[in-house]
């Protein structure tokens, strides 16, 4: 363990002890929050996307209140920032970035990938989003509007990508298997082939 890691661990232990001493939280609440955070994964977000693709009522809920939609899928959102869901359409594509740090819907998508936190990604997403997408192999037609959305400490975002053509009649599980982490941030798009 490096000196910086050791200092971070010491500081975290001190903050936890202070929160417990002041009665702000309990050991059980801390353990629950760690469990929830560690349980987040892109597979959970993919399940939400697949459900929205096959269930119009769930899709409406997801677009109206992402946190309630997550909770409807068994993903605890209590105490977390609101979750907004951005719907891609044939005319509009969304790209999510946190320009300040790495605000990410962890309960739904898990820990942010290293590239999402990088200064290069954050800068390019704002300065040259189409160029950034092309490096991911995502080339949007010129007529498709690209909207960059900043995820913040106060409001987290994820993308509801377009359902791939040729997937009519597919089960939710089969659809969820098509959805990858980058699709829910907007750097990539799901594909059936």
69-82 pLDDT per residue, tens: 999 999 999 888 99
DSSP state of 137: T
- 12 is in which domain, residue-wise? 3-35
The verdict on 9 and 71 lying in the same domain is no
Q: Is 101 a catalytic residue?
A: yes
Nearest one of 103, 128, 119 to 185, comparing CA atoms: 103
Nearest one of 5, 60, 67, 62 to 36, comparing CA atoms: 67
Nearest one of 90, 115, 92 to 102, comparing CA atoms: 115
The verdict on 13 and 46 lying in the same domain is no
Q: Is 98 a catalytic residue?
A: yes
In a domain, 170, yes or no: yes
In a domain, 80, yes or no: yes
**The CATH number of the domain where 113 resides is what?**
3.90.330.10
Q: What is the pLDDT along the chain (193 residues), one digit of tens a residue?
A: 787 678 878 888 888 888 889 999 899 988 887 887 788 899 999 999 999 999 999 999 999 999 999 999 999 998 889 999 999 999 999 999 999 888 999 989 999 999 999 999 999 999 999 999 999 999 999 999 999 999 998 999 999 999 999 999 999 999 999 999 999 999 999 999 7
Six-digit token string for 187 = 């750097």
The verdict on 50 and 13 lying in the same domain is no
In a domain, 192, yes or no: no
The verdict on 161 and 129 lying in the same domain is yes
Task: Give the count of beta carbons closer than 10 Å to the beta carbon of residue 45.
Answer: 31
Q: Domain tally for the chain?
A: 2
The verdict on 12 and 104 lying in the same domain is no
Please tell me the distance from the alpha carbon of residue 101 to that of residue 46, in angstroms, as a whole number: 24
Selected catalytic residue, list 26, 101, 134, 191: 101
Q: What is the pLDDT of residue 7?
A: 85
Please tell me the distance from the alpha carbon of residue 60 to that of residue 108, in angstroms, as a whole number: 18
Q: Is 103 a catalytic residue?
A: yes
């Amino acid at each position: 363990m490096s000196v910086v890691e050791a200092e971070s661990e010491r500081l975290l232990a001190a903050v936890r002890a202070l929160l417990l001493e002041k009665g702000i939280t309990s050991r059980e609440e801390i353990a629950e929050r760690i469990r929830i955070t560690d349980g987040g994964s892109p597979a959970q977000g993919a399940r939400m996307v697949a459900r929205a693709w096959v269930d119009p009522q769930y899709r409406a809920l997801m677009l109206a209140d992402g946190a309630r939609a997550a909770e409807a899928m068994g993903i605890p959102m209590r105490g977390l920032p609101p979750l907004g869901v951005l719907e891609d359409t044939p005319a509009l594509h969304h790209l999510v970035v946190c320009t300040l740090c790495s605000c990410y819907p962890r309960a739904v998508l898990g820990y942010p990938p290293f590239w999402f936190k990088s200064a290069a990604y954050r800068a390019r997403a704002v300065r040259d989003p189409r160029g950034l997408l092309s490096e991911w192999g995502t080339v949007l037609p010129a007529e498709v509007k690209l909207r960059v959305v900043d995820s913040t400490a106060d409001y987290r975002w994820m993308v509801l990508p377009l359902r791939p053509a040729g997937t009519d009649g597919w089960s939710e599980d089969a659809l969820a298997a098509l959805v990858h982490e980058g699709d829910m941030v907007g750097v990539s798009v799901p594909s059936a082939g």
